[in-house]
Amino acid sequence: MTDTITGATPAPSPARRLVDLAIEYNFIVIFLIVVVCAALLSENFLTGTNIANLFQQAAVTGVVAVGMTFVILTGNIDLSVGSVCALCGMLIAVLLAGGTPIWAALALTIGAGALCGAAMGAITALAQVPSFIVTLAGLVSFRGLTYLMTDGVPVSGLPAGFAAISSTMVPLAPGFSVSSMGLIFILLCVLAGGLLRLTVFGETVYATGGNPEAARLSGLPTRGVLILVFAASGVMSALGGILLTSRLRIGQPTAAQGLELDAIAAVVLGGTSLFGGRGGVLGTFFAVMLLQVLRNIFNLLGLGSFYQMTVTGVIIIAAILLNRFIDIRRGRG
């Protein structure tokens, strides 16, 4: 409402600002509510061991979801992340089983993930094929390559040093440690969040997703940005495959099935708009942890997977409706 005398818009009241903040950062509010409920339902929830387990269990999905955040911020989607994760997990297992040094196997696997992602980004950006179609084809093709690599046979006999990538416990506070894969997830969220919020590249990502045509006419390299964000998604998927194989200590061709759905759900639940241009890694981090807390508390209570699927689905639908409401309030509806 505008002041009729001065023509200025009055400042919102403290209560109004609080409501606006709660709506803007709804993913944090929902996360805190679920954590409080979980702590009340189970006395084992807030133990150091269980919290460390939460980060370890969330790491693979979280790392892949970080890459997915970049893609969705541009208004695209990557359905191939689960297959790329499995492909790279098998690739590093084959390389290590064949005697390749760990550092070389890591470099080759991450490079393969970047190549997979960049290829799909290039087709999307240069041939202007919808990313849904391109990455759906990638989902099938990369999974097929995963099976072809060893005729569907798991690969074992990996060196003990490789397992340390995921199993090393890192002390963060007196009496509290987190696994190295959980710490990798946290550090990647910090780095990716800083990249999006504090760099020109991050601004270009938001501009590309917010209004692709305006960004292109402004001279921004929108096609190059699309290739880079898909390459980043491929790198994160490769890292997720590395962590998963390190934790399982075996290359499993059936690994990471359905991971793309978990990653997309986490990104959307964290407030990133499917239309692009709004959201960030902070929301993705809390959403990944929220989904993991839900699974964890159901396991602690001895409830089956059907309850987990139902409650998780309801929360995701509620989050999508809330984010749609936010878009309409901002005039993007």
DSSP secondary structure string for all residues of 46-97: TSHHHHHHHHHHHHHHHHHHHHHHHHHHTT---TTHHHHHHHHHHHHHHHHH
Name the residue among 157, 160, 159, 179 with its Cα closest to residue 170.
179
CATH number of the domain bearing residue 205: 1.10.3470
Name the nearest CA neighbour of 255 among 245, 263, 265, 264: 245
Higher confidence at residue 87 or residue 314? 87
Structure tokens at 169: 């416990």
10 domain-assigned: no
Residue 5 belongs to a domain: no
Q: Which residues pair with 21 in a beta bridge?
A: none
Residue with the bigger pLDDT between 109 and 18: it is 109
Q: Is the pLDDT of residue 131 over 90?
A: yes
The residue length of the chain stands at 333
Beta-strand pair 176-179/169-173: antiparallel
Residue with token string 């001065």: 6
Residue 289 pLDDT > 60, yes or no? yes
- pLDDT surpasses 60 at 8: no
* Overall number of domains in the chain: 1
pLDDT of residue 5: 55
Q: Is residue 203 part of a domain?
A: yes
Contact of 246 with 167, CB cutoff 8 Å: yes
Greater confidence (69 vs 37) lies with 69
- pLDDT tops 80 at residue 68: yes
Q: Which amino acid is at 260?
A: E
Helix axis angle, 48-73 relative to 81-97, nearest 10°? Answer: 120
Q: Going along 124-215, which residue ranges are E strands?
A: 169-173, 176-179
When pLDDT is cut at 50, 70 and 90, the band that residue 333 belongs to is low
Question: Is residue 170 pLDDT above 80, yes or no?
Answer: yes
Query: Distance between CA 244 and CA 258 in Å, rounded?
Result: 14
Q: Does residue 279 belong to any structural domain of this protein?
A: yes
For 125-152, what is the mean pLDDT?
A: 95
Max intra-chain CA distance, the chain? 79
Mean pLDDT along residues 170-176? 82
Q: Would you say residue 333 lies in a domain?
A: no
Res 316: pLDDT: 74
310 in a structural domain: yes
Task: Look up the domain containing 221 and give its range.
Answer: 25-327
pLDDT cut 90: percent of the chain above it:
58
Report the predicted TM-score, pTM, of the whole model to 2 decimal places.
Answer: 0.90
3-state secondary structure of 248: helix
Residue scoring higher pLDDT (313 or 142): 142
Mean pLDDT of the chain: 89
Residue 308 inside a domain? The answer is yes
Q: What is the pLDDT of residue 331?
A: 61
Is the pLDDT at 141 greater than 90, yes or no? Answer: yes
The answer as to whether 14 is a domain residue is no
With a cut of 50, say whether residue 1 has pLDDT above it.
Answer: no
Give the gyration radius of the chain's Cα atoms. Answer: 21
Per-residue pLDDT band at 275 (split at 50, 70, 90):
confident
